[in-house]
Chain A
Amino acid sequence: MSSLINTSRPPVFCPGCSHERITHTLDKAFEKMGLDGNQVVIVSDIGCSGLFDTFFNTHAFHGLHGRALTYATGLKMARPDLKVIVTMGDGGLGIGGAHVLSTCRRNIDLTLLILNNFNYGMTGGQCSSTTPQAAVVGSGFLNQLEKPVDICQITAAAGAAFVTRTSSYAPDLVDEMVAAISYDGFSVIDMWGMCPGRYTKRNKITPKSIEVDLANLPRFKGPVAENQRKEYGSGYREVAAQLPTPARPDKIEARFQPPATGRQEVLILGSAGQRIVTAGEIFCLAGMTGGWHATLKNDYPITVLRGHSVSEMVLSPQPVDYTGIDRPKVVVALADEGVGRRKKMLARLGSDTLIIKAAGVTLPDTGATVQEVVFKAQKIKSQDWALASLALLAQKNRVISMEMLKAALTVRFKKAILETAVELVERVSE
């Protein structure tokens, strides 16, 4: 195997920049592993580490600042056979912190090479997430007030399965790289280095001093014992292969003659837990068994276990254009929470609207025809009131018929639940 260095585009780093060393070490690692250029993608971040993709004859993806791991994840999920290498500086770590953490948690087979030189080289040496507090950088006094992160401790804590901390000048760096790239999971190498263009002008740092500093820090070298587990992509594909083929939406045949003509607007006003949404759906399915078109809109608060629950249904012999409800034929009022949401409309209604109202619910003054039902007396629980109300409509042949309602129940429910539902719609009375 030969070098993957792109000889027509030689590195353009400042003299003495440790990125140059890393470029050649990475090439040696590829060579050692016997990789062809088309087996490798280099995903480079922004900044001086973002130049890496141009120096190699490999696939290349150079995107936005801090987001390199996001593209790498998409690429790897789509092409699990590729070796995906991400080059990122300490700047990218900061701005893309959320992506670093998620990639660690996921353990997808990528290698993150952190070119850690303690500052933003390209934009003028400002402080980054790894700048020491004592350093003199292009951000005035700001770095003195912020604690730098230990990215190795962070990635290991977030679940990275392979973490190595080393120097860009370490004699065994190529082996560290080979180990990381070969590792089947997310691997991180934090490589401390020098930025003579910006950082080392005002901060004394040498390969030797890096070595001394590293020796004083917790050691990270290779697999993190407590984070060993299956690689994300293989795990994903294993689980996916077991999943059943999902059914496509049911089809409802028109079988019955509906008991009404023209557009029918119906409203159910209830509260969370009253199965309003299910009743709305059943009502629409019932309409569809009568050859009607149907629309259903539900309105409930973000806290789904509390507050109002409102369903708005329109049935019509023609496809429904306007889906709003202004003149309902029927309103089913089952809870004050729901009624509270449509007070203005209820007040406007005339006697051609039928309101089926559960006992105990308070209505505003309205001209509608109100029929009160004491469900409790029939030992019907609150969560069944909505379906029971539909049954009362069906019994009167109002909008839907009983055969339409039962057909809808058969579409929606199976076995025991279906039996209970059918029993309920037959039992309820005014």
Chain B
Amino acid sequence: MALSFIEGNEAVALGAMAAGCRFFAGYPITPATTIYNAMLTYLPPEGGVCLQGEDEIASIGYCLGASMAGNKVLTATSGPGISLYSEQISFAIGSEIPLVIVNVQRLGPSTGSATKGADGDIQFMRWGSSSGLPVIVLAPVDVADCYRLTAHAFNLAEQYRCPVFLASNKEIAMTRESIDLDAIQLPDITTRKAADRNKPFLPFATGSEDTAPNFLPIGDRTLVRQTSSTHGVNGYITVDPDEINAFQNRLEKKLKAHVDEFTFFDRDLDPQARTLVVAYGVTARAARVAVATSRADGKPASLLTLKTLWPVPERLIIETAAPYDRVVVVEMNMGQYVREIQRLLPGKQIDFFGQMNGNLIKPEQIREVI
């Protein structure tokens, strides 16, 4: 076994390169900057482009332009940058522009603490755009996940033509870990489906009411239109309520109806347990230790680690939680995803432990709650 010693951000860059990323743009911000550094090392020598934007709005704008030219694109920032991305994210959602966004979360609110971790943007990533339409959010637990889930994020962005977030955290992104990169299985690469050039091209036409439109790049032989305005299948403004309705429903359904196909998770279940711990991100690692100690102490417990956070993998959560009386949700914030768990499991006792003080939640703290 030969191990490499890399941080989560470097693993993200390697995952992106493996997935066929051709374009990166970002604005330096701790703790996401090292993704930019790595992409600047990897992309240009291989014919790709890496740009430093004059601000976050520009950085994601460059990505949207390049994505519409057919490139697989990546940007990376932290909470303050996600705020500035917001309107462009709405654009990417509504106009179905594939894009991977790494949010290396840091302690907020606002400027907060650049070098302290938190998972404070979990609801923000889901709801921080106008319209409230869904996005995909994947949450890595460790460096291996940064590598693997980034590759999946690209595939999902291509398949569903939407922004896909990687909800990283300073504690994963800037922690170096030994890792056997060769032992990690990456998914086969997916590329957005090309539209049939022999038929008249309608940029937003789909074969069904829950899929993304087929793609042609701007610059193709066939003329391509992209617009941030409310559009019909032809890419021109529409005011027809039925057409608008069908379009909004499709944007909602194309992700929510398919979440079972991209529900990533880990489960460590104990048939004797009455308590299920639910965690995600770096906190899941402390939860693993806590569950193991609890078992060793004669108090069995189970653990569900969610790696797909949005759309909420409802079936997985409901089925996994079914045999338990009590669910303990642990998060590095004041209580965000627990709202989803409460919504899905109304009959159960749901306890929450959260902390947002810049420190990792310790296994002993979780052990006490169990």
Top 8 closest pairs, chain A to chain B, by CB: A74-B65, A70-B61, A78-B69, A240-B44, A71-B65, A251-B2, A74-B62, A249-B4
Can you name the residue of chain A whose Cβ is closest to the Cβ of B227? Answer: A62
Known contacts being A249-B10, A249-B181, is A59 close to B285, with CB within 8 Å? no
Can you name the residue of chain B whose Cβ is closest to the Cβ of A60? Answer: B225
Q: Tell me whether A294 and B178 are in contact (CB under 8 A).
A: yes
Within 8 A of B (CB), among A279-304: 281, 284-285, 288, 291-300, 302
Residues of B within 8 A of A58 (CB): 223
Q: Tell me whether B58 and A102 are in contact (CB under 8 A).
A: yes
Residues of A within 8 A of B14 (CB): 248-249
Q: Tell me whether A288 and B178 are in contact (CB under 8 A).
A: yes
Docked complex Cα distance between A200 and B223 (Å): 37
Report B363 CB to chain A, min CB distance, Å: 5
Q: Which of A15-23, A321-329, A376-384 contacts the other chain?
A: A321-329
**Would you call A14 an interface residue if the criterion is a C-beta within 8 Å of the partner chain's C-beta atoms?**
no
With contacts A38-B220, A249-B4 known, what are 14 further pairs, Cβ within 8 A?
A: A41-B219, A59-B224, A60-B225, A62-B228, A64-B61, A74-B64, A77-B51, A82-B219, A102-B54, A249-B6, A254-B3, A297-B171, A297-B175, A300-B115
Can you name the residue of chain B whose Cβ is closest to the Cβ of A249? Answer: B4
**Would you call B356 an interface residue if the criterion is a C-beta within 8 Å of the partner chain's C-beta atoms?**
no
Can you name the residue of chain A whose Cβ is closest to the Cβ of B46? Answer: A245
Residues of A within 8 A of B340 (CB): none
Report B120 CB to chain A, min CB distance, Å: 19
Within 8 A of A (CB), among B1-37: 1-6, 10, 14, 22-23, 25, 30
Residues of B within 8 A of A38 (CB): 219-223
Residues of B within 8 A of A302 (CB): 30, 114-115
Q: Tell me whether B175 and A74 are in contact (CB under 8 A).
A: no
**Would you call B71 an interface residue if the criterion is a C-beta within 8 Å of the partner chain's C-beta atoms?**
yes
Residues of A within 8 A of B237 (CB): 54
Residues of A within 8 A of B42 (CB): 246
Within 8 A of A (CB), among B33-79: 41-42, 44-47, 49, 51, 53-55, 57-58, 60-71, 73
Docked complex Cα distance between A53 and B203 (Å): 15
Q: Which of B23, B41, B60, B65 contacts A72 (CB 8 A)?
A: B65
Known contacts being A62-B226, A245-B45, A323-B175, is A252 close to B5, with CB within 8 Å? yes
Can you name the residue of chain A whose Cβ is closest to the Cβ of B10? Answer: A249
Pick 26 A–B contacts, CB within 8 A, sort by A. A37-B223, A41-B219, A43-B65, A53-B225, A59-B219, A59-B220, A59-B223, A59-B224, A60-B224, A70-B64, A73-B62, A74-B66, A74-B69, A75-B69, A77-B23, A79-B218, A82-B219, A99-B54, A249-B181, A251-B4, A252-B4, A253-B2, A294-B177, A298-B174, A321-B285, A322-B363
Docked complex Cα distance between A292 and B36 (Å): 30
Q: Which of B23, B41, B177, B288 contacts A295 (CB 8 A)?
A: B177
Report A363 CB to chain B, min CB distance, Å: 22
Can you name the residue of chain B whose Cβ is closest to the Cβ of A57? Answer: B223
Docked complex Cα distance between A292 and B179 (Å): 11
Docked complex Cα distance between A285 and B49 (Å): 33
Q: Tell me whether B54 and A243 are in contact (CB under 8 A).
A: no
**Would you call A81 an interface residue if the criterion is a C-beta within 8 Å of the partner chain's C-beta atoms?**
yes
Q: Which of A79, A239, A244, A293 contacts B178 (CB 8 A)?
A: A293
Report B293 CB to chain A, min CB distance, Å: 11
Residues of A within 8 A of B69 (CB): 74-75, 78-79
Q: Tell me whether A75 and B360 are in contact (CB under 8 A).
A: no
Report A255 CB to chain B, min CB distance, Å: 10
Docked complex Cα distance between A69 and B345 (Å): 48
Residues of B within 8 A of A79 (CB): 69, 217-219
Residues of B within 8 A of A284 (CB): 5, 176, 178
How many residues on chain A are close to B (CB under 8 Å)? Answer: 68
Docked complex Cα distance between A38 and B225 (Å): 11
Q: A102-132 vs B: 1/0 string, CB under 8 Å?
A: 1000000000000000000000000000000
Docked complex Cα distance between A254 and B359 (Å): 32
Q: Which of B5, B87, B174, B236 contacts A54 (CB 8 A)?
A: B236
Residues of A within 8 A of B51 (CB): 73, 77
Report B47 CB to chain A, min CB distance, Å: 7
Report B196 CB to chain A, min CB distance, Å: 17
Docked complex Cα distance between A37 and B71 (Å): 21
Q: Tell me whether A71 and B68 are in contact (CB under 8 A).
A: yes
**Would you call B362 an interface residue if the criterion is a C-beta within 8 Å of the partner chain's C-beta atoms?**
yes
Residues of B within 8 A of A28 (CB): none
**Would you call B286 an interface residue if the criterion is a C-beta within 8 Å of the partner chain's C-beta atoms?**
yes
Q: Tell me whether A254 and B1 are in contact (CB under 8 A).
A: yes
Can you name the residue of chain B whose Cβ is closest to the Cβ of A295? Answer: B177
**Would you call A417 an interface residue if the criterion is a C-beta within 8 Å of the partner chain's C-beta atoms?**
no
**Would you call B91 an interface residue if the criterion is a C-beta within 8 Å of the partner chain's C-beta atoms?**
yes
Residues of A within 8 A of B235 (CB): 60
Residues of A within 8 A of B336 (CB): none
**Would you call B88 an interface residue if the criterion is a C-beta within 8 Å of the partner chain's C-beta atoms?**
yes
Residues of B within 8 A of A243 (CB): 44-45
**Would you call B229 an interface residue if the criterion is a C-beta within 8 Å of the partner chain's C-beta atoms?**
yes
Q: Tell me whether B175 and A321 are in contact (CB under 8 A).
A: no
Q: Tell me whether B58 and A323 are in contact (CB under 8 A).
A: no
Residue in A38, A62, A244, A252 with the greatest tally of chain B CB atoms within 10 Å: A62
Can you name the residue of chain A whose Cβ is closest to the Cβ of B228? Answer: A63
Can you name the residue of chain A whose Cβ is closest to the Cβ of B360? Answer: A324
**Would you call A320 an interface residue if the criterion is a C-beta within 8 Å of the partner chain's C-beta atoms?**
yes
Docked complex Cα distance between A118 and B289 (Å): 65
Q: Tell me whether B23 and A59 are in contact (CB under 8 A).
A: no
Residues of A within 8 A of B226 (CB): 60-63
Residues of A within 8 A of B282 (CB): 323
Residues of A within 8 A of B46 (CB): 245
Residues of A within 8 A of B5 (CB): 249-250, 252, 281, 284-285, 288, 294, 296
Residues of B within 8 A of A62 (CB): 226-229
Q: Tell me whether B61 and A71 are in contact (CB under 8 A).
A: yes
Docked complex Cα distance between A284 and B41 (Å): 24
Known contacts being A41-B219, A249-B6, A296-B176, is A323 close to B65, with CB within 8 Å? no
Known contacts being A58-B223, A244-B45, A288-B3, is A322 close to B362, with CB within 8 Å? yes
Residue in B44, B67, B219 with the greatest tally of chain A CB atoms within 10 Å: B219
Q: Tell me whether B3 and A70 are in contact (CB under 8 A).
A: no
Docked complex Cα distance between A81 and B221 (Å): 13
Docked complex Cα distance between A292 and B5 (Å): 12
Residues of B within 8 A of A236 (CB): 44, 49
Q: Tell me whether A323 and B360 are in contact (CB under 8 A).
A: yes
Residues of A within 8 A of B115 (CB): 299-300, 302
Report B69 CB to chain A, min CB distance, Å: 4
Q: Tell me whether A67 and B289 are in contact (CB under 8 A).
A: no
Q: Which of B44, B60, B70 contacts A78 (CB 8 A)?
A: B70
Within 8 A of A (CB), among B133-186: 142, 171, 174-178, 181
**Would you call A154 an interface residue if the criterion is a C-beta within 8 Å of the partner chain's C-beta atoms?**
no
Q: Tell me whether A326 and B362 are in contact (CB under 8 A).
A: yes
**Would you call A204 an interface residue if the criterion is a C-beta within 8 Å of the partner chain's C-beta atoms?**
no
Residue in A59, A253, A294, A319 with the greatest tally of chain B CB atoms within 10 Å: A59
Residues of B within 8 A of A57 (CB): 223
Within 8 A of B (CB), among A377-394: none
Docked complex Cα distance between A70 and B65 (Å): 7
